[in-house]
Structure 1
Amino acid sequence: MAEWYHTLQDAIVTHAGEWWTYLATGLLCWLDGFFPPVPSESIVIAMSALSETHGGPVQLWLVILTACAGAFAGDNTAYLIGRHIPLDKIFRGERGTRTLIRAHDLMHRKGAVMLMSARFIPGYRIAMNMVAGFVRFPHRRFMVIDAVATLMWGALSVGIGLAAGSLFHDRPLLGIIIGIALGLVIGYLIERGHAWRERRHAARHPGEGPRGTVVE
């Protein structure tokens, strides 16, 4: 799967600006909403770094449109999966169980806030969106929150790509690599920040169970 993704990403970057690369970008963003092995941020950053803003062939507004539309569709697909498919069949193993329990807990305690912030954490956002469907979080409200989060995510990813393209204008490939690396670092820092806040919450409320209920 990883080899397939990198082959597709290389093809998109090589032919950036052709009509099908925008559709492929949107498709990857859609898959990323419910299929963790497909990290859509990297291709959005790469396409943005090659935008016409820096003399490249890519039209930035099309990148933003297809990326946000794909991401929004992917998040809602995850929501519908969580509503109709038992999550224990999806999140298997010890790590999957921990992720599911944590997402379930956060959804009950501060659902809207977590849906917004989880969009910036690859993989973890899938758990949050599926749990939102599982606990019957109102779908219309979910779509409004997700639309705002998706626009913010798109702006951040495109911004990273533009910054990398500006700093390494004469070396577009290096700009793409630096931009993707920066995107990964930001995602990692956001995830670590959430983990730190949850550890603080657990330390302050040692009697709470996985759903925010008191353990007797």
Structure 2
Amino acid sequence: MKKIYLLLVFIFCLNLSEIYAQIKTDPDDVSQRRAKSNQDQQAKAKEWVASLELKDEARITRVENVITTHLIAVRDWHNSHPYTQVPAGINPKTGDKLSELDRRMIAHSAKPDSIHQNFMEGLRKDLNEEQVIAILDKYTVGKVDFTMKGYHAIVPDLTDEEAQHIRGLLEEARERSVDYKNMEEISAIFEIYKTKAESYLNSNGRNWRQLYKDFVNKN
């Protein structure tokens, strides 16, 4: 009786694994999900370009294609390079163990430079710099202006020179961020540049930690 029971359990598990494998590798299902994702990227590109209110239909189509191509390239690299490809070591600067996000950022930052170059060059063929910035802001949900407001609130007497330097760092963060798929990774890029901004303020005679503490206590 026990042997029969074990045999039935084995057959059940075997069938279950076969079903799971079929679901996981069903090419039709994969193809449908990819097609749906491509449509989502195209819809996003159309929405962003529509906000520019361009008049030339051929120009609109070219810019939409540049954005869609970039979104798909970033998605494909993201999906084909999981964090598990990066060994679970330590950050050599801090000694802290690499987090899952750290490992994802390492994997996803290794994409070919041509992905970024093709995107920026493609935008600049048909858009002026103000319009290019508008697209980058769409991609990063306006993080540059939002973060600058935070610095002005925390440092009320921020000088024009300081503000210009910090904005330059955030604009660099914005451009680098368009090579990442989701907001968690985009925010991680901005954190790198916010750390640089805060180090700059400290080196300019400010005490960032105290300024931030005072701001929190006041609010």
Structure with greater Cα Rg: 2
TM-score, length-scaled by structure 2: 0.30
TM-score, length-scaled by structure 1: 0.30
Structure with more contact order per residue of length (Cα contacts < 8 Å, sep ≥ 6): 1
